[in-house]
Amino acid sequence: MPDVRLAGAVGCGLCAAVAVFALCGAPALSPAAAWLRRRDSARPHPAWLEASKHWRPPPGTPRLLEPLRRQLERAGWRREAEAVLAATALCSGAAASLGLVLALLLGAPPPVLVSLLASAPPALVLLSLRTSRRRRRRLDQAELASILELLGLELSGGGSAQAGLAAVLAQTAGPLARSLAELLAGAQLGGGLPFDVRLERLATARELPALRSLAAVLAMSRHYGSGVGDGVRALAADLRRSERRDLIARNRRAVNRVLVPAAVGVLLPFIGILLFPAVTSLLRAYS
């Protein structure tokens, strides 16, 4: 009769391997390999594979996955929400199997250990999303400050706002610059929403209040014909001050993260070594 613990360990290892493969994904294909795959996709496939292509999730699934999709977009992750959810579920299953095996080996209560290990992958995914969101917002604010400063210099020469922004974006490389260039190209083609409305939607998606303020300045210029140079320069100055305050706060937290372990790991043992003779003398005197 096969050992139950061995079978559980093997199953846990297989689940972990599948979860790692799902998280890492397939490697990037070269142009030749991509062309071969496209050529092979034109060939007839089995009936079960053709039927699987027409599968669609239940009607309520996209609505339930919309918050996760929005968080992934704000964090800058290129993965689909369905893939992230499936990989997290696989990792939770593997962790639950590992918790069950450990509970059988150690004699611990299985529900407690299984629930703790199964909840670890979703917690790690949420923590990674939160960290990625903060990092992307910080990088977007720094890039937006540079774009606004260059735009202020372009506007000081007497050009229009969209022409100056197009000149700045043509010489700027970055994720936010590419998104702004796409919005500006779509607005200049016509037949759609104005650039300030598109910019406000991008500000909501990226969680950038300064970008929403820029959209308000451009909207006022479009409706009332007011200048945008002073507003752009004020926004750039506000972003630089906010970046400076954020840098000071992060430096203070970094100092605290260094000093607290040093005080606990160095100062307390040093005090204990110094006081050890006095404490032993007092114990001998009162014993």
If asked whether residues 89 and 140 sit together in one domain, one would say no
Return d(Cα 271, Cα 200) in angstroms, integer: 59
If asked whether residues 107 and 18 sit together in one domain, one would say yes
If asked whether residues 9 and 114 sit together in one domain, one would say yes
Question: Is residue 15 in some structural domain?
Answer: yes
Predicted local distance difference test score (pLDDT) of residue 263: 74
Q: What is the mean pLDDT of residues 132-155?
A: 88
Predicted local distance difference test score (pLDDT) of residue 123: 87
If asked whether residues 184 and 87 sit together in one domain, one would say no
Of 118, 149, 182, which residue constitutes the final position of a domain?
Answer: 118
Q: What is the mean pLDDT of residues 144-151?
A: 89
If asked whether residues 97 and 6 sit together in one domain, one would say yes
Predicted local distance difference test score (pLDDT) of residue 53: 46
If asked whether residues 2 and 101 sit together in one domain, one would say yes
If asked whether residues 82 and 191 sit together in one domain, one would say no
If asked whether residues 113 and 146 sit together in one domain, one would say no
Determine whether 86 is exposed, middle or buried from the number of CB atoms within 10 Å of its CB (0-12, 13-18, 19+): middle
pTM of the model as a whole: 0.63
The total number of structural domains that make up the chain: 2
If asked whether residues 140 and 222 sit together in one domain, one would say yes
Determine whether 287 is exposed, middle or buried from the number of CB atoms within 10 Å of its CB (0-12, 13-18, 19+): exposed
Q: Letter for the amino acid at 58?
A: P
Range of the domain at 14: 1-23+64-118
Nearest Cα to Cα of residue 223 among 215, 232, 231, 213: 215
Question: Is residue 195 in some structural domain?
Answer: yes
If asked whether residues 210 and 236 sit together in one domain, one would say yes
- DSSP state for residue 266 in the 8-state scheme: I
Q: Which two tokens stand for residue 139?
A: 């990088």
**In sequence order, what DSSP letters do the residues of 143-208 get, joined into one string?**
HHHHHHHHHHHHHTTT--HHHHHHHHHHT--SHHHHHHHHHHHHHHH-SS--HHHHHHHHHHHHT-
Question: Is residue 261 in some structural domain?
Answer: no
Of 206, 221, 242, which residue constitutes the final position of a domain?
Answer: 242
Confidence grade of residue 7 (pLDDT, cut at 50, 70, 90): low
Question: Is residue 271 in some structural domain?
Answer: no
Share of the chain above pLDDT 70, in %: 76
Question: Is residue 124 in some structural domain?
Answer: no
Contacts of 246 (CB under 8 A, 6+ apart): 138
If asked whether residues 183 and 236 sit together in one domain, one would say yes
Instruction: Please indicate whether residue 245 or residue 186 has the higher confidence score (pLDDT).
Output: 245
Question: Is residue 269 in some structural domain?
Answer: no
Q: Is the pLDDT of residue 12 over 80?
A: no
Return d(Cα 148, Cα 141) in angstroms, integer: 10
If asked whether residues 187 and 101 sit together in one domain, one would say no
Return d(Cα 81, Cα 185) in angstroms, integer: 28
Q: Is the pLDDT of residue 76 over 80?
A: no
Determine whether 174 is exposed, middle or buried from the number of CB atoms within 10 Å of its CB (0-12, 13-18, 19+): middle
Which is it for the CA torsion 265, 266, 269, 271, positive or negative? negative
Confidence grade of residue 55 (pLDDT, cut at 50, 70, 90): very low
Question: Is residue 78 in some structural domain?
Answer: yes
Question: Is residue 155 in some structural domain?
Answer: yes
